Amino acid sequence: METPPVPSIPSVPQPQPQPQKNRHFSAVILIILVLVGLVAGGLIGFALTYSNFNSRLNTMQTQLQGLTQNTNNIAYPNATYLVNSNVSLSQLYQQVKSSVVVIQDLVPAYDFFGQLAGYSQQQGSGFVTTVNNQQVIVTNNHVIENAVNETATFADGNSYPAKVLGSDPLSDLAVLSISPMPSGVTSLTLVSSNTLQVGDPVVAVGSPYGLSGTLTTGVISSLGRTITEESSSSSSTGQTIPDIIQTSTAINPGNSGGPLVTYGGEVVGITTADISNSQGLGFAIPSDTISREIGSLVSSGTYTQHPTINAQGTDMNYEIAQAMKTSVTYGWLVESVSVQNGLKGGNTQTTILGSNIIIGGDIITAINGVRITNTDDLLSYLEQHTLPGQTANFTVVRDGQSQTVSVSIGQVS
């Protein structure tokens, strides 16, 4: 008997994993939706911002149009440049320019044998002021020294012959007169330079390089400087002048003798350009020196009251202090004394930093209680506060000990 065949059981399909591409597709769709949302939000924000800005712009334009309509009939003056407390430099210039003059003269030129070979013309500046109810012109001594045929030219172009009333090479000052002085000329006022401070603004008016009526501005850079003017003689080192104003105001040849003024138009100095190695620096004789001397220059033609301590010396420094075995590194070292006046000179010559120095003398550290740190301090104090024939109390370091000595003030010969 045959066994019937067993029926075959159909195979059941096994579940298959979902393909990865479905997940990737969903992620892409999500990213696209986010980007679309961001772009749409940005466009909406931009539209709102632009609309707001455009609205404000239209409002501003409307306001400006109204302002323009209201100002159609206004005449605008030329621009005025103001400095500090609403000071107009153009107005200041107009205030002082008619009082500033150009000074021209002739300087003799000699040949090798000392014979007159001709004349050369030189030029400087000056300004009008009043002394003892007389209008005079103040300038630098080097502008008129050894010269002839002096003339003064005013801002209106009129020129007049000038006469030298007096001069002082030791302060580089000179006073001239015009007879008669042109009518309507205003004198500039001298104020004390003792109130000046570093940083104060000042203005110089003069004729640099022959360019008359030039104004330059700057500030007080330093006070109490000592300068050496250039000498016309090759055998001379030039005149040393103490108590000088240093300024950032441009001072060039031809400026010499012009006024240095405050923003109020008051004279605090007289500019000078005849200075050795002064590129980029401006200097001026202080008004206190002018006030001290001008009366004598007008009445007697000279000034003879320059003080001196009749001594040679040098500024103290650390190296000199080491050589002298002292802790004092400031002051003025007295190397020699030509007149016995209470000071003691040195006794030992040595070489310090390449210079021959005589050590062992007094170190001046104060005069009448005022600290002296260097040559500038010493000479400026003497010029401002002493006269020949007076005595002053000097604080000195002598033989390692600080003491006060009475010093007789001499007269520069």
Active site residues: 142, 172, 256
Percentages helix, strand, coil for the chain (3-state, rounded to 5) are 25, 35, 40
CA distance 245 to 225: 6
Among residues 131, 125, 249, 254, which one has the least CA distance to residue 189?
Answer: 131
188: DSSP letter = P
Cβ(357)–Cβ(350) below 8 Å? yes
> How many Å is the maximal CA-CA distance in the chain?
173
Cβ(351)–Cβ(319) below 8 Å? no
Element holding 296 (H helix, E strand): helix 287-300
Among residues 142, 284, 256, which one has the least CA distance to residue 200?
Answer: 284
229: DSSP letter = B
Residue 380's alpha-carbon distances to 93, 191, 226, 279, 371, in angstroms, are 31, 18, 8, 23, 12
